A and B are shown apart, each in its own frame.
Chain A
Amino acid sequence: MTTVSPAHNDNRGELGYARELIAFRIGEQEFCVDIMSVREIRGWTPATPLPHSPSYVIGVINLRGAVLPIVDLAARLGFPRTEPTARSVIIVVRVEQQLFGLLVDAVSDILTITDEALQPTPDLASDLAKTFVRGVMAIEGRMISLIATDNVLPQFQAVA
């Protein structure tokens, strides 16, 4: 169920499979992504909408000369769309060769957890949630879901 980037385990033998995660908020819920996939975190800048794109793709912004698509993670997970504010945050992640941004409400924490702390996604979760949630964990009484970034962008091969 869990995959761990190998580079991450090397010098943490005594902790077993430990990894660092960046936790963030969308509305009242907390999520996290593997810190290894995060390239940078930046403030919200207005995006240029892309025609004929899925509703969760807000548009593209200029990231130092590269065109960066921004995904409204809330909408992607099936929650109501986020209304971006000046305090919204874009988490720039890399999946293979592609860079894209995740729009979230706020970054809350950096967590170090072991794999034992990660529980499988509960069965009652919707299919959509299951596609993106790798597992859940309890940290100080809060529930935090681990997001897999692989499938967040729309799949173009299938369409075009």
Chain B
Amino acid sequence: MDAMAEIRQTFFEECAEQLADLEAGLLAIENGEADSDTVNAVFRAVHSIKGGAGAFCLDDLVHFAHVFETTLDEMRSGRLDTSDKVIKIMLRSSDALADLVTVARDGGTADAERNATLIDELKGLVALAKGEEPPAPSAGAGAPAADGPTYDDGMGDLDFTPVAVDLSDLMGVGGDNTFKIEFKPNPRMYAKANDAIRVLRDLYELGEVKVTCNTGEVPLLTAIDPEGAYLSFSVELSTAESESKVREVFEFVEFDCDLSVEEVAPEMGEMDLDGVDPDIADILSRIKASDDDEAPSAVSDEPEEEEVEEAEPEAPVAKAEPEPVAEAPKAPPAPAKPAAPAPAPAPSAPKGEAQDAKGASGSPAQTIRVDLERVDRLIDLVGELVIHQVMLSQRAYQAGLARASDVAVGFDELEQLTREIQDSVMAIRAQPVKSVFQRLPRLVREVADISGKQVRLVTEGEWTEVDKTVIERLADPLTHMIRNAIDHGLEKPEKRLEVGKAEEGVVRVAAMHRSGRIVIEISDDGAGINRKKVKEIASDKGLIPADANLSDEEIDNLIFMPGFSTASEISSLSGRGVGMDVVKRSIQALGGRVSISSKPGKGSTFTMSLPLTLAVLDGMIVSVGDQTVVVPLTAIIETLQPKSSEVKSFGGDARLIQVRDAFLPLVDVARELGYSYEPSNATGGVAILVEAENGARSALLVDAIQGQRQVVIKSLEANYGRVPGIAAATILGDGRVALILDVDAVVATSRVEGNFFNQAAE
């Protein structure tokens, strides 16, 4: 990856963070926490995205972010209130901004019409804040034209009457404006490798400039902080551009300097350079002379002082009067990188600030970014370490090591240590589910919009940690279940009012740890499951016999059956009949379970329980022939020793086993896996009762149970490929590979008798 691509990637990674901050901030404001810190954080997020996007010439993104930022600025200055309407527009704008970032990263096209509408709405808010009439649609700087129906959409909310308006404030008009600018850089600005001279040079591009450097605050050399900032600049600018254009020059340094821009009458007195320190005057004349990047000289004293400090730390006074100007060209702290000051020098700066701003209240711990591959490699190696440690101690005992000897004690301690290392390494991959939960508000907004319902999302336990692999695969089922909760669970507002509920429905998503697993509950306060209707549909579709006598719980679980859909009208959201069964299957594929409880009129709760990691699995270690096989514990219901009276032959090779009142197919694992051609003797072995994903039960016949253990999952596909009947592999304490059984596949193929077997031959 070349350097630019790397920076680009960093930019997008940061964008994702900024967008998350933005949304979180807006939601906080919506909940009434509109303190200045939050508003500032939101503003900064958009600002940083804009800055970075500018560096990569992502014009659409910059344009949109700019308008957004301008609106947020009004909110920051208190001129725009934080009413629901305003926040709704802001939230939709943040969605649009996120889309633009995605488009910029992955290609594709953004929804230009919607963006144009939003831009108009945002501008409307600015105008509103300024007490003006809202501007005419799409009159803004280069906004794509949008009129008629697209426009109505957003305006309906706001009750706007489009009226033509003087946009001089945004656009700038002809004619001379004179601005008096006070610009005092903070040390932070220089620390971020920004330089006053570049800013001043940009001002020169706008028009006629007179700069006065105020040296009054420069202390004695002995008192100088080499990294401090002591100079300030008074600038008089005469330009045809508008104030916003002038402020734009300062946009990258805005937070790191004291800045005031005032428009003054053009005939204000001129300022000359006579009274200015000759060195400064020289610098200023050089600024004027340098039109390009060839001589990036330092306009302030700081870089020179830094140089002095480095060269002669003990005796700065010895160089008390160097010729700063002569040295200046060699001393720029950051070589010309004019385009990208914002993202390049201090990627973490905006975040750091945000944390400062939030103060002591729950400031997140420091983090580093690590390539996932490295972590995986570490996990592999630690897994090996554990195996070798076990092997080593086993061999030592075999060689006659006394259990009470010092060496044995050492082995025990080593084992303790390696286990701890393993746990810690596993913890590296753990992440809070926040990253998934963050996407939910937007989803809820969109689904609520389409379905015409009012929904409030409540999330709990977003800091609950779970392995990254689980997080990645959590999003889809969760999305589906929330859609379902809103689309099917919640009633329409009118209906809610009728039954005496609040107009706004509540969807609650809560994550928690429970006995070594993560449990996520999705509940709504809707109508609950209409059991009568569910049963009707199920029997209509032939999923159950019409006269089936089912308990409430069994009826509720019908919605997980393949091909079931209660939506009488098929909406674009859900109701294609691939809903909950897909959800259930993808959760089971993760080694999880999902259940439902519902109270008529009160709402439904879906509970999914998942393992904390996909890297390890609780398994039962069994012997099959002379091989060792792992059966995932999640599938196992119970184990039993078959008596000969319980095993019934059922035509051909098929056998059934009687478990209490039920007859279940007995699956001969050794034969299914091709380890043996003869049917195993059922009475000598152990039957493991398993439940497949579709809920069907069967019994797996194995030779013996060795024990129960947590095993590290290793991919077979990385170096080989998919093996039918096998989910993955693991490495046992003796260093040998054991296969992890894919219970569903084995049970399913055992029904297609013979077929499986022939496949074994090449």
Contacts and interface: CB of A to CB of B under 8 A. Distances in A.
A99 B383 CA distance: 19
A68 B762 CA distance: 20
Nearest to B670: A51
Contact of B720 (A49, A51, A55, A153): A153
B631 to A, nearest CB: 14
A60 B675 contact: no
Contacts of B383: 65
Chief secondary structure at chain B's binding surface: loop
A156 B731 CA distance: 24
Contacts of B731: 62, 65, 67
16 contacts: A50-B720, A51-B674, A51-B724, A51-B760, A52-B756, A60-B720, A62-B735, A65-B381, A65-B383, A66-B718, A67-B716, A68-B719, A97-B718, A100-B720, A156-B721, A160-B722
B675 A51 contact: yes
B723 interface: yes
Contacts of B725: 51-52
Contact of B739 (A50, A54, A100, A153): A50
A58 to B, nearest CB: 12
Contacts of A100: 719-720
Nearest to B725: A51
Nearest to B731: A62
Contacts of B735: 62
A154 interface: yes
A67 B721 CA distance: 11
Nearest to A98: B719
A98 B714 contact: no
Interface string A45-82: 01111111111110111101111110000000000000
A60 B387 CA distance: 17
A43 to B, nearest CB: 13
B597 to A, nearest CB: 39
B9 interface: no
- 8 smallest CB-CB distances across A and B, nearest first, come from A156-B721, A51-B673, A65-B380, A54-B762, A69-B720, A65-B384, A48-B737, A51-B674
Contacts of A160: 721-722
B380 A49 contact: no
B376 to A, nearest CB: 10
A59 B722 CA distance: 13
Given A62-B731, A66-B714, A67-B718, A53 B723 contact: yes
B381 A48 contact: no
Interface in B373-391: 380-381, 383-384, 387
Given A66-B719, A97-B718, 14 more contacts: A48-B627, A50-B716, A50-B723, A51-B672, A52-B760, A53-B760, A60-B720, A60-B729, A61-B737, A64-B380, A65-B380, A65-B384, A66-B718, A156-B721
B215 interface: no
Contacts of A50: 716, 720, 723, 726, 739
A154 B721 contact: yes
Given A52-B760, A65-B380, A46 B723 contact: no
